[in-house]
Amino acid sequence: MKRKAAAIIGVLSLVSLAACGGDDSETSDTTATADTTAATEDTTAATEDTTAPAAEAVSLAGVCPETVTFQTDWNPESEHGFLYQLVGDDYEVDAAGVRVTGPLVASGGVDTGVKVQVRAGGPAVGFSSPTSLMYQDPDIFLGFVSTDGAVQDSGEFPTMTVVAPFNINPQIIMWDPATYPDVKTIADLKATGAKVR
């Protein structure tokens, strides 16, 4: 239990560090006036340095595991994009293991001193749930667990939610029209007794 608590604290620290990246630009309390000036044809090239300031160094070594492993619930997809943004340059793709491992980077691409591994789920793991995989493999730090899955497995395999990456969960229900030719609505699908996952 202490290991899980430490892991959760580490992830929350990681998320906090990633969210702390801000800008150093100053704001002004001036109000725009209604005066307008016609544009001229003259242009001047920018002479000042327009590069962003270097991001602050962040070290998660000794705070997080050497490799922070995330188990997703499906093949790599756009909904997982926020996770893949944590993977820095010099990453390795393990096609057989259906995973990618690389340096975990904070805002601005700053190496944090630990690695991150993102593992594909769904067909890549024989459709095993992230919850069951987390209980089988102690190296998995966090997994994508839906609320309904967490409730369903709560008796035998309890999990704790630490982040909701979406305000609305983008889900669909699709079926094979050749297998279910009379299904035109979700109510029709329910009447067939088909299992919806």
pLDDT in tens, 84-128: 999 999 999 999 999 999 999 999 999 999 999 999 999 999 999
**pLDDT tier for residue 24 given thresholds of 50, 70 and 90:** very low
pTM, two decimals, is: 0.61
26 conformational bin, left if phi > 0, alpha if psi -120 to 50, beta if neither: beta
pLDDT at 51: 61
pLDDT at 41: 54
Residue-range domain boundaries for the chain = 2-17+56-166
**How many whole angstroms separate alpha carbon 20 and alpha carbon 134?**
28
Q: Residue 139 CB: number of other CB atoms within 10 A?
A: 13
At 157, phi and psi to the nearest 5? Answer: -130, 75
pLDDT tens-place string over residues 51-69: 656 667 889 999 999 999 9
